[in-house]
A and B are shown apart, each in its own frame.
Chain A
Amino acid sequence: MTSGTAGRPRRGAQLAAAALLVLAVGVLLGSAATAASVSEDEVHAIASELRCVVCQNLSVADSPSEMARQMRDLIRERLAAGDRPAEVKAYFVQRYGDWVLLAPPARGLNLVLWLAPFGAVAAGLVVVATLVRRWRRQAPRELAAPPAVGQVDRDRLAAELERLRD
Chain B
Amino acid sequence: MKLRARWLIPLAALPVVGLLAYGFRTDPRAVPSPLVGRPAPPFALTTFDGKAVSLEAQRGKVVVLNFWASWCYPACYEEAPVLEASWRRVGPEGVVVLGVAIQDKDPASLEFIQRFGLTFPNAPDPAGKVSIDYGVYGVPETFVIDRRGVIRRKHVGAVTEAVFREWVEPLLKESV
Known contacts A67-B128, A70-B127, A70-B128; A95 and B134 CB within 8 A of each other: yes
Main secondary structure of the interface of B (DSSP, over half): loop
Please give, as numbers and ranges, the residues of chain B lying within 8 Å of A53 by CB-CB distance.
Answer: 136-138
Pull 6 A–B residue pairs with CB atoms less than 8 Å apart, ordered by A. A53-B137, A54-B137, A56-B28, A70-B129, A94-B35, A95-B135
Assess whether B34 is in contact with A97, with CB atoms less than 8 Å apart: yes
- Residues 105-134 of B, flagged 1 when their CB comes within 8 A of A and 0 if not, give 000000000000000000000011101111
Provide the bound-state CA to CA distance between A98 and B27, in Å: 17
Chain B contributes a number of interface residues (CB within 8 A of A) equal to 19
Least CB distance, A131 to chain B, in whole angstroms: 10
Q: Mark A48-80, 1 if CB is under 8 A from B, else 0.
A: 000001101000000000110011011000000
Q: Is the interface of A mostly helix, strand, loop or mixed?
A: helix
Band of interface residues on A = 10 to 19
Are A74's CB and B28's CB within 8 A? no
Q: How far is the CA of A73 from the CA of B128 in the complex (A)?
A: 10
| Contacts A66-B103, A67-B103, A70-B127; A95 near B138 (Cβ below 8 A) | no
Question: Would you call A114 an interface residue if the criterion is a C-beta within 8 Å of the partner chain's C-beta atoms?
Answer: no
